[in-house]
Structure 1
Amino acid sequence: MKKVEIYTTMFCPYCARAKKLLKSKGVDFKEIDVTVDGDLREEMTRRASGARTVPQIFVDGKHLGDSDYIHMLDAEGKLDQRLGIA
């Protein structure tokens, strides 16, 4: 299985939605909370090519996108392949 990382903040409904989708697919992921850590948020923004909103999801070190994007991929039947579970 591929390595999945998700940058989140506390009380973020989009983060909760993205984590719920990943969990429903049995995907293990590393959650990186950027709520109070400016350095981690800067790291996320740099890795995500300037995206500052959470969540930001990475698969094997490559930026996949945000919650809306992974849900769109799932609706199109493309998310499982990107996560390495197809």
Structure 2
Amino acid sequence: MTRSKKVDMDSPKASMVKELISSDTVVIFSKTYCPYCTMAKEVFNKLKQKYTAVELDHRSDADEIQMILGEMTGARTVPRVFVKGECLGGGSDVKALYESGKLESYFSNA
């Protein structure tokens, strides 16, 4: 994959993404039609853990946000799930953490 332009991690948009990530305990960068995004949200619903979902398909700046997330996390795919500012990965990663019982540990010492 070739990157057409370098991501400016000091840009106002990157600052906004970082602010979003720190705005809630759980932040999910998502697309409403994505089955992996739905999977990630269902895990947090089962845990009765509230989250902030940033639905990129409803935003005009989605591509720019995904480029910033790619720079931050090494992947620009959705979902990108953050818990307490840490990227846990995508839907399959979150589901695996949930099924192993490890996901709850992120919230037990709150």
Bin for the TM-score computed over the shorter chain: 0.7 to 0.9
**TM-score, L = length of structure 2:** 0.67
- 1:1-86 correspondence to structure 2 within 5 Å: 3-35=25-57, 36=60, 37-48=62-73, 50-82=74-106, 84-85=107-108
How big is the shift at 1:45? Answer: 1.7
Give 1:70 shift.
Answer: 1.1
Distance apart, 1:47 and its partner CA: 2.5
- Post-superposition shift, 1:85? 3.8
TM-score for both structures, normalised by structure 1:
0.83
Aligned residues: CA RMSD: 1.7
Deviates more, 1:16-25 or 1:38-47: 38-47
Q: Which runs of 4+ in 1 moved over 2 A?
A: none
- Whose Rg is larger? 2
Structure whose residues are more often strand by fraction: 1
Higher RCO (CA-CA < 8 Å; seq separation 6+):
1
Identity of aligned residues (%): 28
Which structure's residues are more often helix, by fraction? 2
Deviations 1:57-79 (A, max 9, x none): 00111111111111111121111
Question: Where does structure 2 lack aligned partners over 5 or more consecutive residues?
Answer: 1-23
